[in-house]
Amino acid sequence: MAPPLSTLSPSTMAVPSFLPSKSFFPKFTSITSITSTPSLQCHSSISEQLHPLSLSLLKEPAQGEAVNSKPTWVNPTKSKPNIISLERQQRTKPASNRNQSASLDPTLIKTLISIPNSDKSLFFSTLSNAFPSPPSQDDALSLLKSFFRHPEKSIFLLGWLEESSFQLETIFYNLVLKSLRAARQWDHIDQIVHQMLDHGPQPDNITYSTVITAAHQCRRFDKAIEWFDRMYSAGVTPDEVTFSSVLKVYGFLGKRQEAFILYERGRAAGWKPDHVVFSILGKLFGDAADQDGMLYVRDEMKRLEIVPNVVVYNTLINGFGRAGRINIAKDLFEEMCQLGVNPDARTLTAILRIYGKHKRNQDAMDVWARMKENRWPVDQILYNTILTMCANLETDLEAERIFEDMKQSQKWRPDKWTYSVMIKLYCRSGKSERAWHLLFEEMPQRNLQPDVTSYTSLIDCLGKQGRVNDVVVVFSAAMKTVPSEIDDLLCCCLLSTMAQCKDEKQMNAILGCIEKANPTLHKLICMLRDKLVGFDEIKKYFRELLNRAPVNVRRPYCNCLIEICTDELGFPSHRPHELFHLGNIYGLYPHIETRRSSEWSVDLRRLSLGAAKAALHDWFESVAEAVEDRESLPPQFRVFTGHGLDRFKSVLTRYFEGYLSESGAPLHKCPEKAGSFVADKDDLLQWLQSRGILQAD
DNA sequence: GTAGGGTTAG
C-alpha cells in the first residue's frame, strides 16, 4: 500500500509527540573512538531502532490492517509514486543553431544594460535592430547569462523573446529566476513560476530548486515549503538537489524532525545521498548542538561507505564543538588527517576556536605546530581566530607577536576584527592605555572603523578603573562613529561605571550617556532614585528593559542595577532587594538556594557584590519564613562565596568575611569546604531574631 | 554564475 501523494508532502507529515525536544534520537549510539575504528562499525541502525515508528510514519495502514503485515504493490499498471527521483535531472543543452551562434557583440550587451529600466521600448527596438531574424538559442542564452546582475533586463529579454515567437524552453525561465534570486525579488519569482504552471513551459527540478533556495534567501520559508509541496501535486518528483534545498530550509527553521523524516523517506526509497546532503544534515544537527543527530550522520556515511570530504568534516567538527564534545571534534580532526583528507583554513579555524574556547592549550599548540610544518592554508579569519585563541588561552605575548607579524604582512593585514581582539585582550588585563592607542590612533591611521565591541571593552576597562571622564570620552566617540550599533552590553558597562562614581557630578555625566544610549534604562534609573515610585511601576519598566535586551545581557543588567542601588548614590535602601526579587521573578537567578534534609545552602558565586548581598538577605528571610511556617529545618546552614587565587574569584569571599563579622552573623569560614561559611541552626535562628528578621517566639 | 544544493569569528 503506497501512501497517497498528499501524505508524502512534508507539511502534512505527522511528527510523533513522544520525541524529546533536545534530540529526537533514541540514545542508541554509544560514543566510540573514531580514530581506532575507521572502518565500518556494527551499530544498530537508526532505521532498525525506529522500525515501529517508521511503520506509523512512512505508511498509513488502513484501519484493521495489522501493523506488521507486509504491504504489497498491487497495481502494476501504475508506477509507484516516489518521494524522490533517484536520477538527478540532467542539464540539457538546447538544440542550437550553429550557423548563428557566433559570439555576441560585447557592445550590444553594454548598450542593452545601459538602457534605463523605464525605457522598455528602446530595449525592444535595440534588440529588434540587432536581430532582424530571431536569435539562436545560444545567443539568447548568452544574453540572459550576461543579464545575471540585471534582473529587469532579464525580464525584458524574456518579454521580447515571447513577442518574437521564440521557442522558450524551461531553461530560459530558470535563468531569469536565477537573476531574480540574486536580486532577492521574491514576488516576481513567485509570479513567474505561477505563470509557468498556467501557460508553460512547465517547471522542472531546476526551476523548483531555484525557487526553494530563492525563498530561503528571501526569508520566505513558508513559500519554500509550499513550493516543495506543490511540485508533488504538479507531478514533478524532486531529485537529490531539490531535496537538499528543502533540507537546508528545514535546517534553518530548526525543523530537525521534519528533515530527518524526509531524509529517511528518501533513504527508504533507495536513495544514496551525497556529500552535499551530509554536510547540510551535519550543519542542521550541529547548529542545534544535537550530538545524536551528528553521530547519526557519521554512522550513515559509514553504513553507505562514503568517506566524508573536507566540507562534511568541517561541519561535523564545528557541530561537535558547539555541542561541547571537544574530544569527538578532536577525533574527527585526527581521523581526517589520517585518511588523507587535507584540512583547509575552515577546518583549522574550527578546531583552533574549539581548543581556544575550552582552554586546551596543548592541543592548540600541537595543531599550530603542524600548521607551520605542513604549510596548511591560512586565511584572514583563521589568522584572527589564532589571535582570539591566544587571547582565550591567555598567552598574551604570543598574541602580541602574531599581531606584529600581521602588521608587517603584505597578505594578512590586521582588520577591524583583529583590532577588536587585541583591544579586548589589553582591556582584560587593565592595559587601557594600549587599548586606547589602538582604538584612537592605530585604527584611524589604517582607516579602520571600529565596531561597537571595541568601544564596549574600553568603557568596561576604564569604568572598572574609576576613570569616569574617560568613559564619557569613549562613549561620545562611539556615539559619533557607531550610533546605530550601541547596544545593551555597552549600556551594562556604563551602568557598572556608574557604580564607581564618586560624586553627583560624575554620576550625572554617566546618566547623560545612558540617556542617549537607552532612554528606557535612563527612565528606570530615575524611577529607582525616586523613593515615591512603587514596586509595580519599577516592575513594569524593568520588564520592558529586559524584554528588549538579549537573553545573555539580562542578568548583567539586573546585577548592575542592584550594584548602583547598593552604592551610596542616593538610592532608597530597599531597591536592591526589590531588584533581586524582580530578577528572581524573571528567572535570572536560578538554583541559588538548595534545601537538603542535612543542610540548606545559598550559592552566591557568580553574583556581583550587591546582588550577592541582596541574595543573602533574601535567603535569611526565606529561612525566617520557613520557621514561621513550621517547616522542618536542617541542623546546618551554608553560604557559598567561592574561592580561587585570582582577584576576581576571591573578592566575594573577602568581602563576606568582613560583612559577616561586622554584622555578628554566626556564619563561620568552613575549613573542609573552601569558599563557604557555615552556621548551626540554633545560632542562626537566634541571630535572625536579634536582627528582627525572625519574630521572637 | 556556468540552468539547481554544502562549511568559518565576539
**Average of per-residue pLDDT across A152-166:** 93
Q: To the nearest whole percent, how much of chain A has pLDDT over 90?
A: 71
My answer on whether A619 and A478 are in the same domain is no
The pLDDT of residue A619 is above 70 = yes
My answer on whether A568 and A663 are in the same domain is no
Q: Is A661 in contact with A677 (CB distance < 8 Å)?
A: no
The answer to whether the C-beta of A349 is closer than 7 A to strand B is yes
pLDDT of residue A102: 52
Beta carbons within 8 Å of A183's beta carbon, 6+ residues apart: A151
**Average of per-residue pLDDT across A615-642:** 92
Which of A96 and A441 is assigned the larger pLDDT?
A: A441
**Protein-to-nucleotide distance from the CA of A179 to the C1' of B1, whole angstroms:** 10
Q: Which nucleotides of B are covered by protein (CB under 7 A)?
A: 1, 3-10
pLDDT of residue A77: 53
Return the closest nucleotide (C1') to the Cα of A247: B5
> What pairs with residue A639 in β-bridges?
A602, A677
pLDDT of residue A504: 87
pLDDT of residue A501: 87
Burial A185-214 (b: 16+ CB within 10 A, else e): bbebbbebbeebeeeeeebbbbbbbbbbbb
pLDDT of residue A436: 97
The pLDDT of residue A169 is above 70 = yes
pLDDT of residue A655: 81
Q: How many structural domains comprise chain A?
A: 2
Maximum alpha-carbon separation in chain A: 109
**Where does the pLDDT of residue A218 fall: very low under 50, low under 70, confident under 90, or very high at 90 and above?**
very high
Q: Is A554 in contact with A588 (CB distance < 8 Å)?
A: yes
**A383-387, A551-555, A661-665: segment of lowest average pLDDT:** A661-665
Nearest to A140 by CA among A112, A113, A168: A168
The answer to whether the C-beta of A311 is closer than 7 A to strand B is yes
The answer to whether the C-beta of A637 is closer than 7 A to strand B is no
**Quick one: cell of A19?**
520525541
The pLDDT of residue A318 is above 50 = yes
pLDDT of residue A605: 86
pLDDT of residue A81: 55
Q: How far is CA A157 from the centre of its chain?
A: 41
Most confident listed range (A84-98, A218-232, A642-656)? A218-232
**Quick one: cell of A156?**
525584458
**Protein-to-nucleotide distance from the CA of A345 to the C1' of B2, whole angstroms:** 26
My answer on whether A450 and A549 are in the same domain is yes
Orientation of helix A361-374 relative to helix A345-357, angle to 10°? 160
Residue A465 lies in a domain: yes
Nearest to A192 by CA among A154, A165, A160: A154
**Quick one: cell of A79?**
508506477
Protein residue nearest nucleotide B8, by CA to C1':
A346
Using the 3D structure, point to which of A536, A557, A585 is the last residue of a domain: A585
Q: Is A26 in contact with A49 (CB distance < 8 Å)?
A: yes
**Protein-to-nucleotide distance from the CA of A51 to the C1' of B3, whole angstroms:** 40
Residues 229-248 of A with CB under 7 A from strand B: 238-245, 248
My answer on whether A573 and A524 are in the same domain is yes
pLDDT of residue A35: 32
Nearest to A675 by CA among A605, A598, A590, A596: A605
Residue A641 lies in a domain: yes
Nearest to A210 by CA among A177, A233, A235: A177
Question: Residues A343-384: pLDDT tens digits?
Answer: 999 999 999 999 999 999 999 999 999 998 999 999 999 999
A169: helix, coil or strand? coil
Other Cβ atoms less than 10 A from the Cβ of A34: the count is: 21
My answer on whether A569 and A599 are in the same domain is no
Residue A671 lies in a domain: yes
CATH code of the domain covering residue A630: 3.30.1370.110
- The HSE-up count of residue A28 (CA atoms within 13 Å, CB side) is 15
Return the closest nucleotide (C1') to the Cα of A145: B1
The pLDDT of residue A60 is above 50 = no
My answer on whether A451 and A550 are in the same domain is yes
Q: How far apart are CA A574 and CA A566, in angstroms?
A: 9
A625: helix, coil or strand? helix
**Where does the pLDDT of residue A648 fall: very low under 50, low under 70, confident under 90, or very high at 90 and above?**
low
**Where does the pLDDT of residue A330 fall: very low under 50, low under 70, confident under 90, or very high at 90 and above?**
very high
Using the 3D structure, point to which of A585, A604, A638 is the last residue of a domain: A585
Q: How far apart are CA A100 and CA A136, in angstroms?
A: 6
Residues 10-49 of A with CB under 7 A from strand B: none
**Where does the pLDDT of residue A200 fall: very low under 50, low under 70, confident under 90, or very high at 90 and above?**
confident
Residue A656 lies in a domain: yes
**Average of per-residue pLDDT across A257-282:** 96
Residue A557 lies in a domain: yes
Residue A108 lies in a domain: no
**Average of per-residue pLDDT across A209-237:** 96
Residue A507 lies in a domain: yes
| Three-state SS annotation for A629-645 | CCCCCCCEEEEECCCCC
**Average of per-residue pLDDT across A77-99:** 69
Beta carbons within 8 Å of A147's beta carbon, 6+ residues apart: A112, A113, A153, A154, A157, A179
Other Cβ atoms less than 10 A from the Cβ of A239: the count is: 21
Beta carbons within 8 Å of A617's beta carbon, 6+ residues apart: A577
pLDDT of residue A675: 85
The pLDDT of residue A443 is above 90 = yes
pLDDT of residue A192: 96
Residue A268 lies in a domain: no
My answer on whether A489 and A510 are in the same domain is yes
My answer on whether A441 and A568 are in the same domain is yes
Which of A54 and A243 is assigned the larger pLDDT?
A: A243
Q: What is the DSSP letter of A305?
A: T
**A41-45, A468-472, A621-625: segment of lowest average pLDDT:** A41-45
**Average of per-residue pLDDT across A159-165:** 91
Using the 3D structure, point to which of A585, A607, A631 is the last residue of a domain: A585
Q: How far apart are CA A212 and CA A282, in angstroms?
A: 20
Nearest to A665 by CA among A646, A645, A685, A636: A685
The answer to whether the C-beta of A417 is closer than 7 A to strand B is yes
The pLDDT of residue A608 is above 90 = no
Return the C-alpha torsion angle A445, A451, A457, A458, nearest 10: 40
Residues 254-293 of A with CB under 7 A from strand B: 273-280, 283, 286-287
My answer on whether A603 and A664 are in the same domain is yes
> Which ranges of A534-668 does DSSP label H, i.e. alpha helix?
535-548, 551-566, 575-585, 609-628, 647-662
Residues spanned by the domain of A603: 593-690
Which of A26 and A19 is assigned the larger pLDDT?
A: A26
pLDDT of residue A4: 36
**Average of per-residue pLDDT across A552-556:** 91
The answer to whether the C-beta of A150 is closer than 7 A to strand B is no
My answer on whether A550 and A455 are in the same domain is yes
Return the closest nucleotide (C1') to the Cα of A356: B9
**Protein-to-nucleotide distance from the CA of A121 to the C1' of B8, whole angstroms:** 47
The pLDDT of residue A580 is above 60 = yes
pLDDT of residue A502: 85
Return the closest nucleotide (C1') to the Cα of A287: B7
- Which secondary-structure segment (H or E) carries A668? strand A668-669
**Quick one: cell of A324?**
561541547
**Protein-to-nucleotide distance from the CA of A657 to the C1' of B8, whole angstroms:** 47
pLDDT of residue A24: 64
Q: To the nearest whole percent, how much of chain A has pLDDT over 70?
A: 86
**Where does the pLDDT of residue A80 fall: very low under 50, low under 70, confident under 90, or very high at 90 and above?**
low
Nearest to A459 by CA among A436, A437, A481: A436
My answer on whether A609 and A681 are in the same domain is yes
pLDDT of residue A275: 97
My answer on whether A606 and A580 are in the same domain is no
**Quick one: cell of A125?**
527596438
The answer to whether the C-beta of A457 is closer than 7 A to strand B is no
**Average of per-residue pLDDT across A228-257:** 95
The answer to whether the C-beta of A318 is closer than 7 A to strand B is yes
